[in-house]
Each structure stands twice: as structure tokens, then as C-alpha cells.
Amino acid sequence: MSNQYFIGVDIGGTNVDALLVDEALANEIFMTAPIRPGDGTRPIEVIISLIEQLLAKGGINDWSSIKAIGVGVPGLVDAETGVVELAVNLDEKSMNLGDILQTHFGCPAFIENDANAVALGAMQFLVDASIKNLAFFTIGTGVGSGLVLNGKIFHGSKNMAGEVGHMFIKESDVRCQCGANGCLETFVAGPAIGRMAREATQNGTATSLSKHTHLDAAAVFTEADAGDAVAIDIVKEVSLVLARSLQGMIMSFDLEKIIIGGGISRAGDSLLNPILAEWKKMRADSVMAESMLQPDKLMMCPPDFRAGAWGAVAVALAQSVQQNEPMVLAQPS
């Protein structure tokens, strides 16, 4: 390995992941640990310990060789100060995570909202180098996105850019976690798909979904692929809402690429193809859509790509470049 290293840390609700790479983005070492081990250890202590273990595993005793640490964390993040507000995954209302890590490890530590970090990592490691305007659209328990415009993370005026899960879609009786009704999240997130499946089995309609004791999004896509009409209808409805929402993002920001990640992205082509079919209908009706909604603008995140950890590495890399330190960014080996 080279003499300089970057560390990326992805702080999730269940686990914290850490990735160590050298300047060539090679010789990667990955480790993960429960964010709450159940022995009273605080999440911040888990994070520090995991980074120390990562360095030890890499045989790095001289911490001065750490070029930078990048961190992706849910919450309201001030990237300039490293302060995380509403730091639910850290069990804190507010924490200056940047200062804590910088003081402990003696190197720059850069903190970013996890969705933004993933979007930056996607630009750096998943797409052609010419693409500088993209969104990483995460669909799991909730829905969110990170935006990269002109090669830089777009934070918005209150560091709240990308909260697409709470865009109003249409009238609904289902209340979102944010307290409103009609949010995108209540139509396409994992729990929403599971809810639609349960409702379908409860109304007496014949469907192979009834054989599942646990009705979730995975069950819906499995049965849709097997030809179940009810499951196919649910996938069509989800895909229609997503197709329109993604079209709105492209029209709003003139994006070159949207990448879908999160647990729902594991459906792969079973979700991608119905969305593209809706886009095809839109292109047939509109010259503008014909120009803007080309199929190559949309892709699924590869299932083996550690989006959170590589996103955090991208944050460390980008901040190093921003500080006018000469560096040529490579692709991970």
C-alpha cells in the first residue's frame, strides 16, 4: 500500500461500516460492526473503535499517514462545521462529529449527510467521468435522494435538499412519518409496497401473495416475476409513481443520470423495466420527454457496491481536492 490512506465511514441505523483505501483507491479493507452492541457502548465509541481496528488490520501504526476521514450519517448535517443535528443513529440530539474524529485521529474529518455522500460516491465510482449532474435515489424503509450538480453536492439553503420522499404526490388517507398525507414515501417505499400487498390479500382477491406469511416488497416482486396478476398490478402502480417522480427530478435539475439504490433496488430489472416502460409512453407524447427521458439516464445501483462506505470515501477525497491538495482521483480497483 502507499503511504497515504483514506477512510470512509457509513453510519447506519443498525451497523457502522468502515472502508480503508490507499491513494490509488486500491488495497481496500472493509469492516463492519453493530452501532449499538448492547453492552452500553455509545455509538461514537463504536465508530472510533472500528476505525482503530481497521487501521490495525491494515498494519497502519502511524496515524499521520491518514490523509482524511469521510463520514456519511443520517440527520441534518452542516458539512462546513461537521455538526450533526437530529443525530438519531448517534443517540444524540446534536454532535460535532467532525471535531471528535479529528481530535482523536489527528487528521481532517469531513462529515456529510449519508444520502449526499452516496450521490457523490456514485458520481466518482459508478458513472462515466463526464457526468457531473446526477441524483442517487434511495428507496428502502423510506425514500430520499442526494443531488450532485455541476460536480458538487447540492445542499440547499437549509441542508435539506433531496428530501424527495416527502414530495406531495396525490391525495391519500395514509399518513407519512413526517405527519403529512400524500407523500411519495407512502406510495413506493418498502413498507408501502408491503401494505398494498396486505390490502390485496385481505379483500378476497385470488393471489399467490396469500401464501406468504411475511408480505414485503421482496414477496411482491417475486410473485410479479412469477406472473401473479395482483403483484404485477402493485409493481405497475409503484413504477408509475416512480416514473413520474424521477421525470420531475430530471426536468427540474436537467440531470444526466439517476441511480436507484436502497433495499428496493434489489428488485433490479423487475423494477427498472416497468419504470422505463412508463418513460417510453411519456416520450411518445412529448418532444421534450423524448429528449430528456432516454433509458440510459436511469440505472440500478450494483448490488455488490458498498454505496455508503464508498460515498464516505468520496467525501474525504473531494474535500482533500477542495483544499487545493494535488491529487488525481482514480477508480476503485
Q: Domain limits of the chain?
A: 5-119+305-322, 130-300
pLDDT of res. 113? 95
- CATH, range 5-119+305-322: 3.30.420.40
Q: Tell me if 5-119+305-322 shares its fold with 130-300.
A: yes
328 pLDDT more than 80:
no
Residue 294 has pLDDT above 80, yes or no: yes
pLDDT greater than 80 at residue 215: yes
d(CA 136, CA 21) in angstroms, rounded, equals: 23
pLDDT higher than 90, residue 3 = no
pLDDT in the model for residue 326:
43
pLDDT at 203: 86
For residues 287-301, one letter each, b for 16 or more C-beta atoms within 10 angstroms of the residue's C-beta and e for the rest, the string is eebeebbeeebbbbb
What is the mean predicted confidence (pLDDT) over 172-176?
94
Selected from 3.30.1490.20, 3.40.50.300, 3.20.20.20, 3.30.420.40, the CATH number assigned to the domain covering 130-300 reads 3.30.420.40
- Mean pLDDT in residue range 204-211: 92
Q: What DSSP string describes 21-49? A: EETTS-S-EEEEEESS-SSS--HHHHHHH
Mean local confidence (pLDDT), 104-129 = 96
Per DSSP (E only), the strands in the chain are 5-11, 15-22, 29-34, 66-73, 76-78, 83-87, 92-96, 109-113, 134-139, 143-149, 152-153, 257-261, 298-300
> What mean pLDDT do residues 141-149 have?
95
Q: Do residues 95 and 16 touch, judged by C-beta distance below 8 A?
A: no
Q: Which residues contact 71 (CB under 8 A, 6 or more apart)?
A: 8, 9, 10, 11, 97, 98, 101, 109, 110, 111, 112, 117, 312, 315
Residue 330 has pLDDT above 60, yes or no: no
Give the mean pLDDT of 146-162.
Answer: 94
pLDDT at 327: 43
Which helix (H) or strand (E) element contains residue 247? Answer: helix 229-253
pLDDT at 104 over 80: yes
* pLDDT tens by residue, 125-139: 999 999 999 999 999
Give pLDDT, residue 331: 56
Q: What is the mean pLDDT of the chain?
A: 93
Do the Cβ atoms of 148 and 278 come closer than 8 Å? Answer: no
Confidence of residue 2 (pLDDT cuts 50, 70, 90): low
Instruction: Examine the pLDDT at 309 and tell me if it is beyond 90.
Output: yes
Would you place residue 243 in the very low, low, confident or very high pLDDT band (cuts 50, 70, 90)?
A: very high
At residue 317, the pLDDT reads: 94
Answer yes or no: is pLDDT of 322 > 90: no
pTM, two decimal places: 0.91
